[in-house]
């Protein structure tokens, strides 16, 4: 279960969302998704990571990705926020053709406060945070002391191979 230490809580976020793109203008896709996410008054951007060029994960025979993460403050419940993220993916032209396949945009809820959710459409905290350098590197920019499963983002990051990840 995630735990926000005082310095993270003081930043004013209650949710972290990971973003990724490996089709078209990848960095512009990330920026457009963030703009759409925060266009209404019910999601406020608190902090944004740098963009990272990352090697594909899972399905490796595809183009590299740009990944980022945002910390937001929202009163939307986790499922409503998930629906917003999926709506943005749809509006931007995402087509789900294969697991871990190429995508114009991907938005994944990573944490929502201290909530632990395990439903068919949403698992929080995201079950693969600690295994993915392309998630942990952006998290290091915005919440290195956030605790997930008893370890900080910094500790999780130090345990993985981040060779295929570089800030751009």
> Which residue in 36, 48, 84, 103 is the catalytic one?
103
Catalytic residue among 36, 48, 84, 94: 94
Catalytic: which of 8, 51, 84, 106?
Answer: 106
Catalytic residue list contains 132: no
Q: Which of 42, 50, 73, 108 is catalytic?
A: 108
**Active-site annotation holds for 108:** yes
* CB under 8 A, 24+ apart: contacts of 159-164: 159/130, 160/130, 160/131, 160/132, 160/133, 160/136, 161/133, 162/133, 162/136, 162/137, 164/54, 164/55, 164/133
Does the active-site annotation cover 94? yes
* Pairwise CA distance, residues 81 & 17, whole Å: 10
Instruction: Check if 103 is active-site.
Output: yes
- Report whether 122 contacts 79 (CB < 8 A): yes
Catalytic residues, by residue number, are 94, 103, 106, 108
């Amino acid at each position: 279960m995630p735990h926000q230490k005082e310095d993270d809580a003081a930043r004013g976020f209650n949710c972290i969302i990971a973003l990724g793109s490996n089709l078209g203008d990848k960095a512009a896709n990330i920026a457009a998704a963030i703009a759409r996410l925060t266009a209404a008054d019910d999601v406020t951007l608190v902090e944004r990571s740098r963009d990272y060029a990352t090697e594909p994960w899972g399905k490796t025979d595809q183009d590299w990705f740009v990944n980022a993460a945002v910390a937001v403050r929202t009163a939307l419940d986790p499922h409503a926020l998930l629906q917003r993220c999926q709506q943005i993916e749809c509006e931007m032209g995402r087509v789900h053709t294969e697991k871990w396949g190429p995508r114009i945009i991907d938005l994944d809820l990573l944490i929502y406060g201290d909530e632990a959710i395990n439903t068919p459409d949403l698992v929080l905290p995201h079950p693969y945070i600690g295994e993915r350098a392309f998630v942990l590197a952006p998290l290091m920019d915005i919440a290195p002391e956030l605790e997930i499963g008893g370890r900080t983002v910094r500790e999780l990051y130090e345990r993985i191979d981040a060779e295929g990840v570089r800030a751009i």
